[in-house]
Structure 1
Amino acid sequence: MLKYFPIIVFFLFINCLTTQAQVTNTREHISLDANWYFAFGHPYEPQKDFYNGTSYFSYLSKTGYGDGAAAPGFDDRYWRKLNLPHDWAVEQKFDKNASLSHGFNAVGRNFPNTSVGWYRKTIHIPTTDLGRKISIAFDGVSRNSIVWVNGHYLGTEPSGYHSFNYDITDYVNYGGENVIAVRADVTMEEGWFYEGAGIYRHVWLNKTNPLHVATNGTFVSTLLENDKAKIQALVTVKNDGLKDENFEVKQEVLNAEGKVLGTVKIEKLKINSLELKDFSSTISLKNPVLWSLENPYLHQLVTTISQNGKLIDVYKTTFGIRTIRFDADEGFFLNGKHIKIKGTNNHQDHAGLGVALPDELQYYRIGLLKAMGSNAYRCSHNPPTPELLDACDRLGMLVIDETRLMGTTDLHLNDLKRLMLRDRNHPSIISWSVGNEEWNIEGNITGARVAKTIQAFAKTIDTTRAITAAVSGGIGNGISTTIDMLGYNYIATKNTDEQHQKFPQQLSWGTEEGSTVATRGIYVDDLEKHYLAAYDKKQNDNFLSLENGWKHYASRAYLAGMFIWTGFDYRGEPTPFGWPSVVSYFGMLDLCGFPKDNNWYLKSWWTDEPTLHILPHWNWKGKEGKTFDVWVYSNCDEVELFLNSKSLGKKTMEKNGHLEWKVNYAPGNLKAVGFKNGKKTLTDAVNTTEQAAVIVAKQDKILVENSKVAVVTISVADKKGLNVPTANNNLSFELSGPGKIIGVGNGDPTSLAPEKFLEKIETFPIHSLKEKIVDNMAVVDGIAANYNDQQWKPAFKDERNASFAERAKALIYRGTVDLPEIPKGAKVTFFYKCVGPQQSIYMNGVKLAGNLAQNKKGYEYIIDEKLIKVGKNTVAVIATPFVKQNSWDSFNTDLGLFQIYTPAPQWKRNLFNGLAQVIVEATGEEGEIKLQTNSAGLKSSTLLLQIKK
């Protein structure tokens, strides 16, 4: 059965209420994630890029001239069908010639055939929407995206991280079909870490009245005085209409239960045509419930615009009532309470999914970090998806929100502004980061100027949060002299005490620290296999260990805290290795979210929860008598170690430290006993296990009610029921019911096995097209497969004018399609495109259809495998000709193509040091999903998931 987080259930309930309210009012926010078509284009070969931009007038030349795959009438029937979010990079094979920093997935400059992706979707917009403002919003597209609607070029967004939207009001076909086309190009990398490829975040259709609250048009800030809160509510109203308007604004604050706590009205307002205007109001609340880490309580501001008593717009803003304060000597305060920042840095990819994470996975990942004791999250090094910030708001996690690229041109400042306007109402955000390790400028006068300017600009948008920048080079010059809040990246080469004395008013914290490298479940370095022992040891003299880093920050009040590099492993940057390592080694949790041993060091000192953890595992067959380092992480006062019930000594735990023993291996039971105030309170043990006997599948607790995603952990146990930590068995998965597997992983940083098992779509064009004029449609001479057409003319060379129609009552077209041997279980479809008002179609002399009328969408035919030849196949069409009415008229000259669709193979994954992960997504129907896991020689496991609508 699914298990739930109550706070997320509440979130989904509020979302349902919001959706209903939007439908009954004048604002609609509609998901466009479903039912897209996708295909690969090409960065520089026009024929492989669907001839986009090759027409006489390109989309940059004349309005509405989107051509190729950007044209509304383009035939996309043979493209792959999918739902968003989508990351095509994670679907590609690994290749040593690909980018190391991006995890060696075969995209980028060396792989042009998989570096451009096209998306198309058709939506219906009713005639009743005429007069409203219609826009489409993208939460993020990687990378360098171009968007068209109905052939109209809307714009280009170079960054893969920034949200953007386009007003399409004047381009809409009201009452009919509207085609959205998106081209994304990842040939050039934006970051130096895995970024994915494609529309990997949500897409929305927004509808409002011309007079409405602007996009991201509210800003709520709070001021606490004793038992009262003053809610400062700024609203930006936009009049997209062509006449001036009079109106009134009402602001209401609701608690989490939907009760109205306070209301204010601003009346007799006026706004000019095409004007953007700000209005502010203050709402006082008595004894408010505050947003905190322990109780992340959220309120809602409901902003309504009315005219003469008629409701024009309703805009809802989720916010939290809280105060934040940084002090140069004492660190960070939330609601007046001192909080030491215990943070992690994170990129945005996950095992099996790349960067295309379902919303539930954001909650899953934040929940894992909170369980470790982390209270803060740095978005490294880019604007996050909005759903990540929602998860931080609702689970109680502080955030550094970071822009992608530091600079002071209009481009850089506008990107920062877009980020801040979008995210400024999230109570979780405590700081804006304007730069990270800008080595070219961080230590010189240019850096000082840039930091001073961008910081001042940020304060024109928001003065309630600290402005920070992360510096990894030298300090005492450049950026570190002008930034309000200095972020230290790796203090092994820096003196924070000296900087604090030199700049006593400067705020400071560690934005990156504790950059240790470790492989989950490995306790002896194996450099040949690229595996690193999971003990906390510094990389080199430029870094501190995790423990020494935390000790430095924990012992200095002026340092607000630190952010570890990193919370999760991520693709790319496989320091200190290269190929075939494809994943980093930095995480406290691996790419799946399985904890490494360092996780328990942090849990010991970042939480008050009694903690005791022993490492390594105790399966060392053939190494009897060999000495192993045994470490214990704990917040107990003392710990005693036992091997097969024999005491190896009791040791006192140092604050923020760990304990070590040298132990000669003997099979059996290695047990740690923790003592608090002299009393035995905790035990933890590792056991020598027998061979794996049974598969164990367990659903993670993060799933929410009516969730569409389940995270399943696969492990194996011996016949005594003990988990086998060294198991690496090969697994296969079978799923039935209303669901599908969307990703698999195991946390192995060197695994080159696929994480996606997808259908295969191949297309084969019809080439060498020739034509011959015939007397009528009844002529059949020329349709046979072996007919000699060497004397025929190349097709469509003659001008299709009235005189041509006089002499050509009908034509026979012949072309060739080269087909391979058809894979078992595959389906072959001929997507025919009409070449005349009437036509009959033949393949290898066999009639597929006769006397078909012109159809703009063409026709589809499933081809019997018996009709197909390996190699050359002939397609013949007898058709009446199209005739131009005007010289500029154009018509189709392509017979279409053949598609071979091969179903996805069985999903597989091997265990890595005892663990693997399967991510299951419900498809929308109510019922029972059954996930069966099999492995040779092991007892299978069947996990049942109940799905309710």
Structure 2
Amino acid sequence: MNSQSIGQSFYLHYGWKFLLADAFPLSNALEKWKDANGKYFYEADFNEENWQAVTLPHTFNDVDLFRARIQDAGSGQKRTFGFYRKWITVPKEHNGHKVLLEFEGLRQTCYLYVNGKLAGYYEAGVAPFGFDITQFIRYDGENLIAVATDNTTTRNISACVAETPNKPDVIPGSYQAPQEKGAKVEHEGVGFFWNCNDFNPSVGGITRPVKIHFKPQVYLTLPLYSNLQTKGCYIYGSNYNLDKRTAQICVDAEIRNEGNTPVNAWLEATLCKLDGTKVFSFTSTKQTIAPVDTISTPLSITPEDAYIWSDEKQAYVPQDESLVADTITDSVSVSLLSATSDTQKLRFWSIDDPYLYRVHISLHTDEGCQDSTCIETGFYKLGYDKDRGVTVNDEPVWLRGYAQRATNEWAAIGIAPEWLKDMDAKLIRESNANHIRFMHVAGTPADVRSYDRHGVVCTQPAGDKERENFGRQWDQRVELMRDVIIAFRNHPSIFFWEAGNNSINKEHMREMRLLKEKLDPNRGRFMGCRTINTLDVLEESEYIGTMLNRHAARFLAEHGPITETEYLREEAPRRIWDDFTPPNFDYDNKWGGKGGRKQSGIDFYDLTSEDLAIAAARGYSEFFHDRIGGGSHKDWYSATATLCWTDSAQHGRQAYSENGRMSGRVDAVRNKKQNFDIFRVMQSGTPALKIVGHWNYPAQTGDNYRYPLKTFNGSYWENTGEYAYRDPKNKTVYVFGSYHIAKIELSVNGKTIGVCDKPDATFVFAFPGVDITEHGEIHAIGYNYNGNVIAEDTICTVGEPAKLVFTLHTSPAGLLADGADVAYADIQVVDNEGRICPLCDSRIDFTLEGEGIFLGGYNSGRFEGFGKDDSVIHENHVYAECGYNRVFVRSTTTAGKLRLTAHMDGLEPVTVECMTKPVDLSDYALTELVADYAAYPEEIPVNTQYIPAIPESDEHKYVPEDQLYCKILIDGQEPDTRGVRSVNKNGCIWGAVLCILERLTGSVPPGTYEFNYDEAAKTLTLTSDGHTVIAEAGRTHLLVDGNENLMDGEPYVTDTNQFVMEVSAIVSYVKGIKAYYDDKVNVFRIETE
């Protein structure tokens, strides 16, 4: 067989045409864009007039992400249908071969047409998927590939996509999920629970890579269960000898024979370094592979028994869960070949040394090589020790990092090319983090690849929102987890599979665990859940997630790893330093007050960057001390993740002042926020410190330090029209020091102004009474417990803006002229000595000449609407924030010179130039994406990811909690208690009772109870089952039907206006509930009938 005719794969990225259909559902979009001859977009002779030429990956939301004011429902980006068209011809050497299309994922739907016919569809919106389009292909002419995709979601929309029942009489795309009362839909269907804009921001278009595979009749399958119903190759190590650094490598490969006769087949696997150097090869035994029957190519693999016809609704409805067959995981019409190497010397993958190999797998028959694939992976031994935590190659690691929405979107560009995701991963590592927990849905293959390359451990979910599902929506979750495990199981960075974003029952946990054991049995990974509330669920899990440390316990850690999944929800924008910085000497906002609720047009937080730093320390310190080996000696946690890595387009709570969720360590274009350095110090395994803020505070003259006084009007804190002045000669300066630091000495202009050896929250060294108007230099020196200097930091007063510094960054291959690649340019406003001017917020304009498209950049606090019109998204200017910012340029498909100039009033313009690199834009030229790999040192690095205990530091810094905090659950789910922590006081459970009663209302039949809270009188009245119960702040007894009933203390109202009382004393009067305390996990359980 000619070597050119074996199986081949290419990225199908060039030569596409795009139209924003701006209509929903699919039937409306199709009708809206029929051409003058009545042709639909997927027909060959459709008129493409006015369609846009694009290169994949592509999004139509780069223009509107972060453009509007943020809402609880997320960003206001367009959610609708888009159409794509592309013509291909099959190369002569692949005449007669199978033709498969692979999509790395698409949000939310993909309706694929080939030569005018529907070839398949996928609507789950998360995992990679593929289609066998062989039967639609013309080998002797051009073929039209057409894709309709929509990114509709829940929240602020009349209806969004629902799952199409897999029935022959159903038109795909005709089922919708109404989101507004009275919304008219073709057929009401079951939506995908994770398809929400608030927790899973929707970025539309073909936003991930697409590949075309040409396969001979005997071939290796692809790991794309939807819709190919195959699992591809699975690679893993075994028999690890860590002392000798040896292991055996195993390959399990699915083979399909679609020829007419049996064949003798075997595998050859070759392990190579990234530079192509061969390390070793091994083969399987020969096996006779019989031909299979004709393979059907279903339009969808949604289970046919999932829906039944309803005469009443004249539509298909979900079948009863008990009558539906188990989720199918078996591949269709395949054989399995397995090969195992001899014991071989290997360089193992680890966080410090993310060493990757390329495993080339070839399928041979007696007639020669038939097919091949290359899988990039790493090998390591993953384990858990109850006394050391998670181990990699038998070395303990402390996993710390961030909980990030899986969309991982960027402002200005919408989506990032592969190499820019590497830049993101390197930033994560620079912050001394090593863990990303993707939230709600699976992270993309490109993100996971970048974490493979740079040593960032992943927690990978499938699909969920905020609670357990049953019926069809649960089965959708299991099917998605099947697809995700199959697609991602060769990626070394994934340690944890997450079954749910909240608690699930034992049957569901068992189902997910057994799914992992069947599909990923040999990599040592853990299946668990963000929240596990009962012992029977624990026994079915392999790791335990907590949220805000509400139910961790030592016996849980003895079972498996505990990971804190999303602490620190607070927000602060990058541009606001503190309350002593001009121009406002305040965060000018519309704050709803402590304990306020999320509401449109009101800010939930009133935090500066300095405030967020202190909040971060209080958050991380708790889990750091509760880690295995930590200062509390509780020995609970193996991993932790703070919310979030980036400022994002998810649901935001600064709903008056901001254009995104401001919880990131970096902003929406990955500019470092001050919180980046805070986490870099706190998470450091070596001594580090950082002075918070700047040293350019103005003189105490004129209106400097004047700030508006505010009063609470019942909804928010509003300006009174009066002003006061802050005292800049009496400010507290904060220095953050890592775990290793015993004390910090702070000096101004060489004069010591204080020594602090009693940090707050482990990391915060406070220096009150500092005169911040004394310009010059502020210097911090950190000492260890032996009195030695181990870390220093200095901030100087910076002069007036004198010039711009402009730096252009491209991929390792340069800026490719492919129409999709981007370059970013960092702009800094500096003084005469080249130091960034921390207070500069001036406008900077840009002009672009040559072969590029200017995409602009990002600023916090600027948006369109509600009386504002200052968004910078896709504008020709940005504003400096803290003296710097970043802008982007996209390439065209013509190579040439690009010249970008920045202008700022009062300063000389500066220019950067580059030549874009010519690219072969033919259909089958692209075989590899540009990536930026970690450099591998010759010497294998030692493990630096475990932070050993320093007894003196633990004794000095760890402060035990003075109360027994617990958790209140209603039917296993945790209500939002508005920041009030529940407490077990002598067996009596105290908490935010109104939050509990509000949540309980939805769990009992209507009329079971009523309650009323008189805010002025601070009195709660509950009626249920013929009883009236009254609780009053300051009174130690309940009145039950007029009779006194003594409690364990007096109810009270917090400074966040939450009514707190003995919850256990009042809920027992609600008819039909059972309430009891679970000592083992410190949980007060309220269970309804």
Shorter-chain TM-score above 0.5: yes
- Residue deviations 1:173-218 (CA, integer Å, cap 9, x gap): 2232211211122232313232211111111111111211100211
Query: Are 1:604 and 2:685 counterparts?
Result: no
Report the residue type matching 2:563 in the other structure: W
8 Å contact kept, 1:626–1:665:
yes
1:198 to 191, 201, 205: 205
8 Å contact kept, 2:66–2:863:
no
Query: Are 1:416 and 2:481 counterparts?
Result: yes
2:754 to 644, 649, 669: 649
Structure 1 counterpart of 2:173: none
Distance 1:195 1:584 in 2: 15
Query: Are 1:526 and 2:601 counterparts?
Result: no
**CA separation of 1:745 and 1:285: change in aligned 2, threshold 3 A:** farther
Structure 1 counterpart of 2:164: none
1:102 to 50, 70, 74: 74
Report the residue type matching 1:625 in the other structure: P
Structure 1 counterpart of 2:802: 693
Report the residue type matching 1:563 in the other structure: A
SS at match of 2:446: helix
- Residue deviations 1:746-802 (CA, integer Å, cap 9, x gap): 455768755653xxxxxxxxxxxxxxxxxxxxxxxxxxxxxxxxxxxxxxxxxxxxx
Structure 2 counterpart of 1:218: 233
Structure 2 counterpart of 1:628: 731
**CA separation of 1:389 and 1:97: change in aligned 2, threshold 3 A:** closer
Report the residue type matching 1:365 in the other structure: D
Query: Are 1:585 and 2:662 counterparts?
Result: yes
1:550 to 621, 624, 634: 624
Give the superposition deviation at 1:433. Answer: 1.2
Structure 1 counterpart of 2:1022: none
Query: Are 1:81 and 2:53 counterparts?
Result: yes
- Residue deviations 1:264-294 (CA, integer Å, cap 9, x gap): 2322432332431112121123331111122
1:391-410 to structure 2, matched below 5 A, reads: 391-405=450-464, 410=475
Give the superposition deviation at 1:533. Answer: 0.9
Query: Are 1:241 and 2:344 counterparts?
Result: no
TM-score (norm 2): 0.64
Structure 2 counterpart of 1:364: 423
Query: Are 1:259 and 2:278 counterparts?
Result: yes
**CA separation of 1:536 and 1:329: change in aligned 2, threshold 3 A:** farther
Higher strand share: 1
Structure 2 counterpart of 1:891: none
8 Å contact kept, 2:671–2:886:
no
Query: Are 1:660 and 2:766 counterparts?
Result: yes
Give the superposition deviation at 1:605. Answer: 3.8
8 Å contact kept, 2:39–2:45:
no
Give the superposition deviation at 1:126. Answer: 3.8
- Number of equivalenced pairs: 750
8 Å contact kept, 2:69–2:660:
no
Give the superposition deviation at 1:739. Answer: 3.8
Give the superposition deviation at 1:237. Answer: 0.8
Query: Are 1:916 and 2:885 counterparts?
Result: yes
Distance 1:682 1:504 in 2: 37
- Residue deviations 1:124-181 (CA, integer Å, cap 9, x gap): 2245433101011111221122111111112222232221111111111223221121
Query: Are 1:36 and 2:12 counterparts?
Result: no
8 Å contact kept, 1:746–1:917:
no
8 Å contact kept, 2:626–2:636:
no
Distance 1:252 1:377 in 2: 31
Give the superposition deviation at 1:365. Answer: 0.6
SS at match of 2:638: strand
Report the residue type matching 2:733 in the other structure: V
8 Å contact kept, 1:534–1:598:
yes
Structure 1 counterpart of 2:571: 517
8 Å contact kept, 1:537–1:545:
no
Distance 1:282 1:582 in 2: 53
Structure 1 counterpart of 2:520: 462
Structure 2 counterpart of 1:145: 110
8 Å contact kept, 2:552–2:636:
no
Distance 2:574 2:388 in 1: 36
1:324 to 351, 361, 382: 382
1:370-449 to structure 2, matched below 5 A, reads: 370-405=429-464, 410-437=475-502, 442=503, 447-449=505-507
TM-score (norm 1): 0.73
1:555-566 to structure 2, matched below 5 A, reads: 555=630, 556-566=634-644
8 Å contact kept, 2:14–2:55:
yes
8 Å contact kept, 2:530–2:545:
yes
Distance 1:358 1:646 in 2: 50
Report the residue type matching 2:735 in the other structure: V
Report the residue type matching 1:293 in the other structure: I
- Residue deviations 1:412-437 (CA, integer Å, cap 9, x gap): 32221211111111111111112113
Show structure 1 runs of 5+ residues with no match: 1-20, 56-65, 109-114, 758-905
**CA separation of 1:145 and 1:218: change in aligned 2, threshold 3 A:** same
Query: Are 1:617 and 2:694 counterparts?
Result: yes
Give the superposition deviation at 1:625. Answer: 3.2
Distance 1:550 1:583 in 2: 29
Give the superposition deviation at 1:724. Answer: 1.4
- Residue deviations 1:491-514 (CA, integer Å, cap 9, x gap): 1xx1412xx336842432212223
SS at match of 1:295: coil
Distance 2:438 2:528 in 1: 13
Distance 1:538 1:911 in 2: 22
**CA separation of 1:601 and 1:480: change in aligned 2, threshold 3 A:** farther
Give the superposition deviation at 1:96. Answer: 6.5
1:106-185 to structure 2, matched below 5 A, reads: 107-108=78-79, 115-185=80-150
Give the superposition deviation at 1:659. Answer: 0.8
**CA separation of 1:272 and 1:608: change in aligned 2, threshold 3 A:** same
8 Å contact kept, 1:139–1:202:
yes
SS at match of 1:378: strand
Distance 1:98 1:681 in 2: 43
SS at match of 2:453: helix
* Percent identity (aligned): 19
Show structure 2 runs of 5+ residues with no match: 155-194, 224-231, 294-332, 580-585, 591-602, 699-703, 706-726, 817-821, 919-1089
**CA separation of 1:536 and 1:370: change in aligned 2, threshold 3 A:** farther
